[in-house]
């Protein structure tokens, strides 16, 4: 059977649309946004309490925790870690709840990286 071009192949009736080439669509892979957890200085929370918080909720050893506590004390704030939104939110809530239960005004917050 003969292959006959038809008028429906192209708008101008000149043949079919197939360019005979694969056309790739570039799809950018989105990395999930990350969030910094910040610890803020205040005049009342005891240094040992802050060190304990950093060990307990951020898995830091004593020396690392002491160093970050001192940075916050001297500079006013420091980044304690960078996490996905869900983890960062949980850390902030844990620290704020723990500080409140011990009646310390320690503040912890998160910021998009």
State the minimum distance, in angstroms, from the CB of residue 60 to ligand TYC.
13
CB < 8 Å & 24+ apart, contacts of 29-34: 32/84, 32/85, 33/85, 33/112, 33/113, 34/82, 34/83, 34/84, 34/112, 34/113
Q: What is the pattern of x (binds ligand TYC, CB under 6 A) and - over residues 39-68?
A: xxxxx-xxx--x------------------
11 versus 75: smaller Cβ distance to ligand TYC: 75
Does 73 sit near ligand TYC (CB under 6 A)? yes
Return d(Cα 19, Cα 34) in angstroms, integer.
Answer: 43
Does 36 sit near ligand TYC (CB under 6 A)? no
Does 92 sit near ligand TYC (CB under 6 A)? no
34 versus 47: smaller Cβ distance to ligand TYC: 47
Non-local CB neighbours of 68 within 8 Å, separated by 6+ positions: 39, 54, 60, 78, 80
The widest CA-to-CA distance across the chain, in whole angstroms, is: 93
Among 37, 38, 65, 72, binds ligand TYC (CB under 6 A): 72
* Residues engaged in binding ligand TYC (CB under 6 A): 39-43, 45-47, 50, 69, 72-73, 106
């Amino acid at each position: 059977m003969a292959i006959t071009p038809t008028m429906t192949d192209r708008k101008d009736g000149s043949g079919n649309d197939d360019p005979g080439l694969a056309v790739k669509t570039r799809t950018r892979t989105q990395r999930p946004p990350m969030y910094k957890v910040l610890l803020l200085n205040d005049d009342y929370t005891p240094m040992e309490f802050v060190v304990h918080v950093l060990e307990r909720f951020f898995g830091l050893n004593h020396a690392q925790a002491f160093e970050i506590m001192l940075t916050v004390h001297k500079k006013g704030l420091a980044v304690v870690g960078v996490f996905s939104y869900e983890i960062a939110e949980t850390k902030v809530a844990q620290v704020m709840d723990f500080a409140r239960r011990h009646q310390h005004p320690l503040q912890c917050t998160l910021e998009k990286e």
